[in-house]
Structure 1
Amino acid sequence: MNPLLRLLVLALVLPAAACSTLSAQQRDRAIAIAAAARAPAVDCGQPDRCAEPSPLRALAGEAFAASAAAPDGAPHHYALLLDEGGDALLARVNLIRSATRRIDLQTYIFDTDDSARLVLDELLAAARRGVRVRLLIDQLSAIADLQILAALSGAHQNLELRIYNPTFNLAKPNYLHYAASVVCCFRRFNQRMHNKLLVVDEAVGIAGGRNYQDDYYDWDAQFKFRDRDVLVAGPEVRTMERNFAAYWDDRRSVPVERLNDVARRLLADGVPAMPPARPAHPRRVEALSQAASDPETVRTQLVARAMPVAAVEYLADLPDKHHGDSALEDGVGAAGLAGLLAGAQEEVLLQTPYLVLSDHALEIFRGLRGREAPPQVRVSTNSLAATDNPIVYALTYKYKRRHVRELGFDLFEYKPFPADPPVDPALGGWWPGQAPADAPDPEVARSELPGGSLGGSRGSAGEAQVAAKLRTETRPSLLRTSAPANRPLPVTGAGPRMGLHAKSMVIDRRIAVVGTHNFDPRSETYNTEAAVVIDDPAFARALAASIEGDIAPGNSWVVAPRAKPPVLSGLNYSVGKVLERSPILDLWPWRYATNYEFQPGPECPRPLPRRDPEFHRCYAPVGDFPEVSLGPKSILTRMLTAFGAGLVPIL
């Protein structure tokens, strides 16, 4: 940016930011107000803090006992894939209620909608019965309600809330503050804590892609994330706990009462009462709450699917990644995933919502491709219709030729209305394509809805989709601005759509990875990330089956070279390749690859790989942006594709 323009922006914005600062005396007084209000009394005098018995929590006892009895000292664990949003929320609430000593929760986003408020109320209840609760939220998407934040600052002696890397020492910056941050301190503003972790009693942990917002638990009426967590019970949870402690103790983690806007609220009004919960769908919240206290439901819905595994490792960045005076070694933390990927021999199955590869990731995949016998690489990612971030998808679109031709990816783009989504209506989830007015009542058994009985597998192909053709736009989340460019785009179907958010990988059907890392520049350079790595063939096969379900024909389109390029194939390929490398100009309208839909029939009884000679006979092209209802807005994607390459380092 021009230095003169930078000074002008700072001159306009920084005075407003300065006005929000407090003196040391004011801040000390706000801290004292919060501390004095914290209730010391607990509701339970029992040694176990009146924890609810939980068969899910009991898995940890079995794992630790097996580890102690192992003659070779090898650790034993249980691991559970949390594929459905309802199961993921059920597990969290059940584990919080089972806590006897401590709960540590670390997240990137914490909203105030139904699912987030349910979890928050459970954390408060745990603190009041004597459990120590520590809640750490990245500032970019922390709770945006100052009354709730001020109330939490003085809620109870057993509950602490800290905000990671607060901009201008504020809990709730406005757009002017964000603008000033980008101008004055771009790198620090972009250094975000992307980790998501819940640890209970250092015995059971949940890690993966889900934040605390209805989108992640199938409860949002317009958009839902197809996401994935993994629950781990056993000794490696102690590593998770130590990693959380490193963030909690880091200088970037600031107690909420020290932030200027929260402190001002405390100075003006004292510690306010927690606003009452007003769920948009109270019956759904009540049904989930009751299920979480039903041991039989927890046993059949969750525990029955847990798998004994041995080799579990939690690879997580440390906050040192954000300190210029402390460089991390290669392979430390989440960077260790690169070594696992480079060691692939036969197959890599990768799922990422944002396929914008970093230079390091490109180097690894090129190395795999250059082998005499390269491993097969299958990648599941979002289509433009499914993504929550069209700007990032524009870069995926720009490099389709490189992904398909140069790197040899078998690429699959997720549909916004998948035929067989991992959604459980019995736990309140709304089926993609089901109009909100027709949303299932949580008390209705799943056997009456597409997908079978409670806890069953995915539903049948077309039953959940509706015939109506309505344009729907998803609501903006805490991360989404009012700018149309960064909202999910209108699509041709009605009701809530689904978009990938899962970040997972299976290597050689033996190593399973579930976490937050996208192998993109932001994950590598700016964000801190984390992943659970499980070296176990049975668990790896289960994760592979989950990802393969997402790339099945009813759930994803196949990306493949065009059968007949619209212009001379050699010219089309050469021009596209040259312009692909340009960060300034890339307006070539004919892409090397496009999306295809499987057409089953007597001559095409089963899906084919894109390299099969009969592929184009069994697959019909559906265009570059299927199911997107853009009209003139299609220009937006092409312009971003043309000029967006310069954004790669921060996407």
Structure 2
Amino acid sequence: MTATKDTDYDPGRDSSALDPAEDSALALALRPEIDSRDKSQSGFHLVHDGLSAFVARAVLVEEATVSLDLKYYIYSDDTSGRILTGLLLQAADRGVRVRLLVDDLGTRITNPWVLALDSHPKIQLRVFNPVEGRSGLRRGFEQLLNFGRINHRMHNKLLVCDGNVAITGGRNIADGYFSKAETEFLDVDVLAIGAVVQDASDIFDEYWNSEVAIPVTELAFADDNTCTLKELRERVEKYLKGERESEFSRALEKSDLAENLKEGEVAFHWGRATLFSDPPRKVIDRASVPVSEYPGYKLEKIIQQCKQQVRITNAYLIPGVPGVDLFSTLQGMDVQVDILTNGLATNDVAAVHGAYSRYRKPLLQAGVQLYELRPVAEQKQRLHWFKGSSRASLHAKTFVLDDDRAFVGSINLDSRSIIQNTEIGMLIENPEINRALNELFETWIAPDAAWQLSLDDRDHIHWTAQDDDGNSLEETKEPETHWWQRLQARLLSRLPIETQI
């Protein structure tokens, strides 16, 4: 491997993380707390509301003085994506080296903003496991011909600022993850400092320098000269100026997190952290990767060791027979398993719900407490910032493990996450983070936010909840859905596609 730290960008060369910033405002603000701790420990701060999640990313980009490393499954060309793109460009203009790695299936790299961004001497852009055809028809043929390769995607989410701060979790870069869309994805991130940040940088380097991370300049584009760097700067300045008066920007200004981060006043809880990540070669040579290296396998082993409780928040729950057996075994050992997932009304993938629905009765029969999110969840929090309502959908992937550990990451409990995709997640050994995630779980399973499932004496599923006035609600079919949604999910549940979703 040839590591380069020069200012000139050679897209064909490997590169490594730069030394951490030492004299930046953010580094100086964080240093007293970091220096007072054991060097093997890390500090953690949970971010669960969408607005704060965007603020955290924006502040890290704005405060960077040395380097920014980002990798995301989805990086959208919407309000949040364009604001972040503008901030990345401004960071590069003041001398910050920016490396951006995106998945090709989740992020269509045809946006002229992004292409112009890569022409900046301080910005490097790579695409993970790309489909060769960029146009719709050619891309479709490539997907059919190379399905075995392109079916494996980089589902990771990670941002590392100056080698000093990292943020990871379930959120992509898109309005829906930051409380600015008709569908709001409920999610959780962890902001981390200390020892684990070096691990995050090492993982990013492994992905960046892998053979499946292709410089964007090596890919063919039909309109690769539609926006120059000069034009991009003008567009960014105009766009950011227009956004300053928007509801989203005003809400950002009212958030305390930005100032607290800059002043080093964010409350971090300290403990040991382990960052799990699939090796990038898993997408092209899965046979060469031992199952023991899969984050999902490691997480399963940790869950097996729990003695008191396991509380899971997971967007796509398809446990399969092994998962049902695991949770049944835990219940038999007096370890209470509680799970919150999406119902049909909040799931954005009908095929996933169809597959999940086959396992509800076995889970309930085993004693698992099962909850499904309602579309009205989190409305009070959103209306604190924005006018109008949105439909909630669960996207979080968190685990409360006994009373002293927690896990936050990108891993869904389905075959796609465990076997097909590459994922990332952080095991946190800290009772305060454990309690915070447990309290969030309680909030999200409250009767006005989620349906609780149970079985009657004939093994039929019942859903119970409460309305805004505290009145009891009960359903005997998928709540808050239309007949055609239920029919579609029922038909899809019969298809043998469980390993692909």
Q: Is TM more than 0.5 here?
A: yes
Change (3 A) 1:256 1:350: same
What displacement does 1:107 show? 0.4
- Aligned CA RMSD, in angstroms, stands at 3.1
Mapped partners of 2:478, 2:141: distance in 1: 32
Counterpart of 1:395 in structure 2 is 355
Counterpart of 1:580 in structure 2 is none
Counterpart of 2:292 in structure 1 is 330
Secondary structure (helix, strand or coil) at the match of 1:596 reads: strand
| 1:320 aligns with one of 281, 299, 317 | 281
Establish whether residue 78 from structure 1 lines up as the match of residue 43 from structure 2. yes
Establish whether residue 283 from structure 1 lines up as the match of residue 246 from structure 2. yes
Question: Is the Cα contact below 8 Å between 2:408 and 2:425 reproduced in 1?
Answer: yes
Mapped partners of 1:302, 1:82: distance in 2: 18
Question: Is the Cα contact below 8 Å between 1:560 and 1:595 reproduced in 2?
Answer: yes
Establish whether residue 594 from structure 1 lines up as the match of residue 462 from structure 2. yes
Counterpart of 2:492 in structure 1 is 640
Mapped partners of 1:256, 1:272: distance in 2: 19
Question: Is the Cα contact below 8 Å between 2:453 and 2:462 reproduced in 1?
Answer: yes
Which of structure 1's runs of 4+ aligned residues deviate more than 6 A?
47-50, 267-272, 300-303
Secondary structure (helix, strand or coil) at the match of 2:195 reads: coil
Equivalences for residues 197-208 of structure 1 within 5 A = 197-208=158-169
Establish whether residue 100 from structure 1 lines up as the match of residue 70 from structure 2. no
| 1:408 aligns with one of 367, 378, 391 | 367
Residue type of the alignment partner of 2:486: S
Give the stretch that moved more between structures: 302-311 or 517-526. Answer: 302-311
What displacement does 1:240 show? 0.5
Change (3 A) 1:503 1:179: farther
Establish whether residue 650 from structure 1 lines up as the match of residue 500 from structure 2. yes
| 1:162 aligns with one of 105, 126, 144 | 126
Secondary structure (helix, strand or coil) at the match of 2:35 reads: helix
Equivalences for residues 513-528 of structure 1 within 5 A = 513-528=407-422
Equivalences for residues 30-429 of structure 1 within 5 A = 53-54=25-26, 60-67=30-37, 70=38, 75-154=40-119, 156-168=120-132, 170=133, 172-174=134-136, 177-178=139-140, 180-182=142-144, 184-220=145-181, 222-261=182-221, 264-266=222-224, 273-274=231-232, 276-277=235-236, 278=239, 282-287=245-250, 290=253, 298-299=259-260, 306-324=267-285, 326-331=288-293, 333-358=295-320, 360-369=322-331, 371=332, 373-405=333-365, 407-418=366-377, 422-423=381-382, 425-426=384-385
What displacement does 1:423 show? 3.4
Question: Is the Cα contact below 8 Å between 1:84 and 1:424 reproduced in 2?
Answer: no
Mapped partners of 2:229, 2:305: distance in 1: 54
Establish whether residue 512 from structure 1 lines up as the match of residue 413 from structure 2. no
Change (3 A) 1:632 1:321: closer
Structure whose CA Rg is larger: 1
What displacement does 1:382 show? 0.8
Question: Is the Cα contact below 8 Å between 2:344 and 2:478 reproduced in 1?
Answer: yes
What displacement does 1:187 show? 2.4
Mapped partners of 1:501, 1:540: distance in 2: 19
Counterpart of 1:500 in structure 2 is 394
Change (3 A) 1:343 1:152: same
Mapped partners of 1:391, 1:303: distance in 2: 45
Secondary structure (helix, strand or coil) at the match of 1:330 reads: helix
Residue type of the alignment partner of 2:200: M
What displacement does 1:305 show? 5.6
Residue type of the alignment partner of 2:314: T
What displacement does 1:343 show? 0.8
What displacement does 1:300 show? 8.7
Q: Structure 2 unaligned runs (5+)?
A: 1-8, 12-19
Mapped partners of 1:248, 1:332: distance in 2: 19
Q: Larger strand proportion, structure 1 or 2?
A: 2
Change (3 A) 1:207 1:416: same
Change (3 A) 1:149 1:94: closer
Change (3 A) 1:251 1:142: same
Secondary structure (helix, strand or coil) at the match of 1:140 reads: coil
Question: Is the Cα contact below 8 Å between 1:309 and 1:539 reproduced in 2?
Answer: no
Change (3 A) 1:59 1:346: farther
Give the stretch that moved more between structures: 388-397 or 297-306. Answer: 297-306
Q: Could you tell me the TM-score, scaled by structure 2's length?
A: 0.87
Change (3 A) 1:322 1:302: farther
Deviations 1:353-403 (A, max 9, x none): 11111454344324324x4x3311000011111121122112222321112
Taking every aligned residue pair, what percent have the same amino acid on both sides? 26
Counterpart of 2:453 in structure 1 is 559
